[in-house]
Amino acid sequence: MWSKIVSFLMSIIAFFSSLLGFGVKTKANYKEFLDLSYGADSMQTYDLYIPTNKGDTLGLILYIHGGAWTSGDKASYQPAIKNIASKYGYAAASINYRFLSQGVTMTDILSDVNEAVSAIFNKAQAEGFTLGKMITTGMSAGAHLALMYAYNTPANAKIKPVAVGSQCAPTDLSDPNFYADGMVFQNSYLQLVASVVGQNVTNEVIAQFTAQYSPVTYASSAVPTIIAHGQKDNIVPYSNAEILDSALTANGVAHVFITFPNSGHALESDADCAERYMKTFIEYAGEYLD
């Protein structure tokens, strides 16, 4: 069942990626770099598009794919990053990362994000461009990673995020609504995630894990955020979005909260909300990257 869910989510990501083109048909001026490596593992790769007609100092939009931290591929965002570079004049990249397993922890995945950012910065610099600001974005697990990196950015990050776009992100892994009736994973959800810490999964271990890897924990250091979430989501509960909204409000962090009232985890049934999200995302890029 999970493989079918992931395939469906990847198709939805591709749909949202195509929306960022807004019907562009003109030939763009950009440099294209595909499947470049940022580490020894075969999963540690990235794609990068750099516009060549917008000067040598550019903002970057970094896309991180979803798939429950155990599947997915950067290729789902290729239409989006190409269109971002060609139409809007920002550098754009999508990354792959190692998947969660007994040998790969959430810390390792977040380290992959940081290593990818460094490699992207260095590649752009080698091509004569400086990437000075960054927006991170993604859907589901990718949105979780985008939020975690933006809110708790490593001190050695080559490009620090100035904003983040989040679609259906797990924001509070301790939310009891993960276990509610009708949820896809219920009791197995956090058991699956927490098991990779390599210890017996006690309530204490789960509590420590969920606090460490919940973006809401770092709301006091958050950057401006777009939150999009389906009110009928049965994979990541809608309450996760409400919790993040409340935390950002309490900390005075600028943000926009877009509810998709008829949609589940794939944001599939509210075209007007999807259009609003895309419009807001481009407005954020203009405000925080330019």
Say which residue the tokens 């609003």 belong to. Answer: 276
pLDDT of residue 13: 53
| pTM score, whole prediction | 0.89
In order of their start, the domains of the chain are 2-288 (3.40.50.1820)
Tally the C-alpha atoms within 13 A of residue 128's C-alpha that lie toward its C-beta: 7
Query: Can you point out the beta strands (E) in 83-241?
Result: 91-95, 130-139, 161-167, 225-230
Ranking 30-44, 119-133, 167-181, 274-288 by mean pLDDT, the lowest is 167-181
Q: Is the pLDDT of residue 185 over 80?
A: no
35-73 pLDDT tens trace: 999 999 999 999 999 999 999 999 999 999 999 898 999
pLDDT of residue 102: 74
What mean pLDDT do residues 88-108 have? Answer: 93
Q: Is the pLDDT of residue 194 over 50?
A: yes
How far does the chain reach from its first CA to its final CA, in angstroms? 43
Ranking 65-69, 85-89, 190-194, 280-284 by mean pLDDT, the lowest is 190-194
**CA-angle at 124, arms to 35 and 11, nearest 5°:** 40
What mean pLDDT do residues 3-18 have? Answer: 49
Q: What is d(CA 151, CA 270) in angstroms, rounded to the nearest whole number?
A: 28
3-state SS, residue 55: coil
Q: What is d(CA 260, CA 238) in angstroms, rounded to the nearest whole number?
A: 10
Q: What is d(CA 197, CA 103) in angstroms, rounded to the nearest whole number?
A: 9
For residue 154, what pLDDT band results from cuts at 50, 70 and 90? very high
Given a contact cutoff of 8 angstroms between Cβ atoms, the answer to whether 112 and 97 are in contact is yes
